[in-house]
Structure 1
Amino acid sequence: MSRRTPRIFAATLAVAALALGACAEKTADEPAASGSSATASYPVTVGSLTLDKRPEKIISLSPTATEMLFAIGAGPQVSAVDDQSNYPADAPKSDLSGFQPNAEAIAGKSPDLVVLANDTNKIVDQLGKLKIPVYLTPAAITLDDSYRQITELGTLTGHADQATDVASRMKDDIAKLVKDLPQRAEKLTYYHELGPELYSVTSKTFMGSLYSQVGLANIADPADADGKNGGYPQLSQEFIVKANPDFVFLADSKCCQQNADSVKARSGWAGLTAVKNNQVVPLDDDIASRWGPRVVDLLRVIIDAVAKVPA
């Protein structure tokens, strides 16, 4: 489990068990739509969190939250991000960990807001005792969860208008992408690979919900019908070969150098429909493990691959 993808998978699975972009590149890189951040009135309340003034030293310990904050125009207020936040490139990366957050290290940076993906080691309570406000952004299960987190971050940071605009553009872009998909008498099937160890996702996960929007059937669903794996079952070579998916989507192309050739070389995989029809699709590992604005980019890759198959 020393490789990058299994670590990401382990963290994602833990979140799933606990809680259960081209909006694109420009969404994060270009200034968000003009808004009233300078005149936003405080205090503001989201859930049980109330901020008396606009936060100016935000620490993000979630790569997804980092992308969201920069997308809505709150980037200048972010003083530090965790060691896995690599987008956008100019995010102030630090040695802070989101997987094993350390309250003392976080407090040492004097934040006025900390954004976390999960409450590992009861870090929320630890920071609460230090009077440090915390906003949790747990792993999304649906796109609505993603939209809600974006708009709530907008409210907290004084960028409500920009956040609403980002969420609206995501919805519009996704609707346009899905609208033109051909109707099929029988659904095409897919296997989504988290790592070479053959961990996958079911339709009950955020990633699975995206494939469902595209009209694809998930071969992994029967492997976790009882939900005991939290939507992230480990499949076997035999299971996948027998299921014979129409598509293989690789979310381990960067971390583990998986590609069409490496998949074809696996025992029994050369005969898969996905392999024979050149429908092994590499995904960006980072985007495929997050639920921020770049999910539009991810859907575009998936839809472009599906659209090539005659209805």
Structure 2
Amino acid sequence: MKRLICLALMFFAALAHTYEVTDDTGVVVHFEQPPQRIVSLLPSLAETVCALGQCARLVGVDRYSDYPVSLKKLPQVGGGLDPNIEAIVALRPDLVLMATSSRASERLRTLGIRVLSLEPKTHADVQRVMLKIGQVLGVADAASIWRTIDAAVSAAAQSLPVGARSTRVYFEVNQGPYAAGESSFIGETLTRLGVKNIVPAALGPFPKLNPEFIVRANPDVIMIGERSAGGLTQRPGWHSMRAVREGRLCIFSTEQANALVRPGPRMAEGARLMAQCLADKAPSVARKRIP
């Protein structure tokens, strides 16, 4: 009888430690204990794991995950959309984090590997994903880490000169040109900074634009990464745009651009970079500096 009671207690104790999380595709993922060997196939998810103080649990990443710098030492398992399945299996992960757009989730699940598909696209998503990964990893203070990030974005907005807040901005995410629209997390940051995005929400979060649209919109300031900035002044009609003509361009280094375009814990850094750009380049601010 005592043995049966002991077994029952052990059974219920095990149940008490099991938990489940629903990912962004609606799949319910069950856990008996927090995972210790994690492969991440999306840079923003790897950065979130590290922001939660759990970098040591990462055993593999996609080829684009490069922050913090310690991630560069980990095995790379290909791209996030089409990763190397054999390389992932060889790492014996007890969890793979990936974007909802990845084609690898079903294949990994059929191989018995636990998968959590998460893809932050807005500020609210960044908060939700951080809390969800915190729940999965058993990190109790994920909410306080998010509050620190959110407060830093607000501080960046408060640091901006009042005169800069009427500025019309074009943010180019990648060549194409692909832009950050109002409904993207980058667009939300611009809105919190109090400036006007020339790409309306109706066009989607990251639309591919007709270059003539940008010329006609004639933004006051252009934000662009150095990888896309080559030949910018040679684009048809761009020499006539106010921002190009008056040199009101913010060209971000590759490292800065990565912080800006990844919806994760470095969102606050991205807000500071944009605020500094506006403080330096906004026409209303520049005019006040003229003696």
1:273 corresponding residue in structure 2: 242
2:272 corresponding residue in structure 1: 300
Among 232, 239, 262, the alignment partner of 1:290 is 262
Distance 1:185 1:250 in 2: 18
Match of 1:235, SS state, is coil
Gaps of 5+ in 2: 1-15, 23-27, 286-291
* Cα pair 1:279 1:305 within 8 Å, conserved: no
2:110 corresponding residue in structure 1: 129
Distance 2:164 2:95 in 1: 50
Match of 1:203, SS state, is coil
Are positions 1:46 and 2:25 aligned together?
no
Query: For residues 4-59 of structure 1, what are the alpha-carbon distances to aligned partners after superposition, in whole Å with 9 as ceiling and x for unaligned?
Result: xxxxxxxxxxxxxxxxxxxxxxxxxxxxxxxxxxxxx8323322222101211111
Match of 2:70, SS state, is coil
* Cα pair 1:246 1:274 within 8 Å, conserved: yes
Distance 2:164 2:224 in 1: 26
Among 234, 248, 266, the alignment partner of 2:222 is 248
* Cα pair 1:42 1:53 within 8 Å, conserved: yes
1:58 corresponding residue in structure 2: 38
Distance 1:291 1:185 in 2: 24
For 1:155, give the aligned amino acid: Q
1:148 corresponding residue in structure 2: 128
Query: For residues 76-100 of structure 1, what are the alpha-carbon distances to aligned partners after superposition, in whole Å with 9 as ceiling and x for unaligned?
Result: 1111111111111111141333120
TM-score w.r.t. the length of structure 2 is 0.79
Distance 1:87 1:187 in 2: 34
The 5 A counterparts of 1:81-160 are 81-91=61-71, 92-121=74-103, 123-138=104-119, 140-160=120-140
* Cα pair 2:62 2:83 within 8 Å, conserved: no
Query: Following TM superposition, by how much is the alpha carbon of 1:65 offset from its aligned partner in structure 2, in angstroms?
Result: 0.6
1:5 corresponding residue in structure 2: none
For 2:194, give the aligned amino acid: G
Q: Percent identity?
A: 28
- What is the RMSD of the two structures over their aligned residues, measured on CA atoms? 2.4
Query: Following TM superposition, by how much is the alpha carbon of 1:145 offset from its aligned partner in structure 2, in angstroms?
Result: 0.8
Q: 1:241 to 1:119 in 2, by over 3 A?
A: closer
The 5 A counterparts of 1:16-27 are none
For 2:265, give the aligned amino acid: P
Query: Following TM superposition, by how much is the alpha carbon of 1:237 offset from its aligned partner in structure 2, in angstroms?
Result: 3.3
Give 1 or 2 for the bigger CA radius of gyration: 2
* Cα pair 2:157 2:194 within 8 Å, conserved: no
For 1:272, give the aligned amino acid: M
Higher normalized contact order (CA 8 Å, seq sep 6+, divided by chain length): 1
For 2:95, give the aligned amino acid: L
Distance 2:176 2:257 in 1: 15
2:47 corresponding residue in structure 1: 67
For 2:87, give the aligned amino acid: A
1:76 corresponding residue in structure 2: 56
2:172 corresponding residue in structure 1: 193
* Count of aligned pairs: 258
TM-score w.r.t. the length of structure 1 is 0.75
Query: For residues 198-232 of structure 1, what are the alpha-carbon distances to aligned partners after superposition, in whole Å with 9 as ceiling and x for unaligned?
Result: 221211122222212122222222xx73x5xx433
List, as ranges, runs of 4+ consecutive aligned residues in structure 1 with deviation greater than 4 Å. Answer: 182-186
Among 196, 199, 223, the alignment partner of 1:220 is 199
For 1:193, give the aligned amino acid: E
Distance 1:93 1:297 in 2: 27
Distance 2:154 2:214 in 1: 31
1:28 corresponding residue in structure 2: none
More helix by share: 2
Among 210, 232, 242, the alignment partner of 1:236 is 210
* Cα pair 2:168 2:196 within 8 Å, conserved: yes
Distance 2:70 2:92 in 1: 21
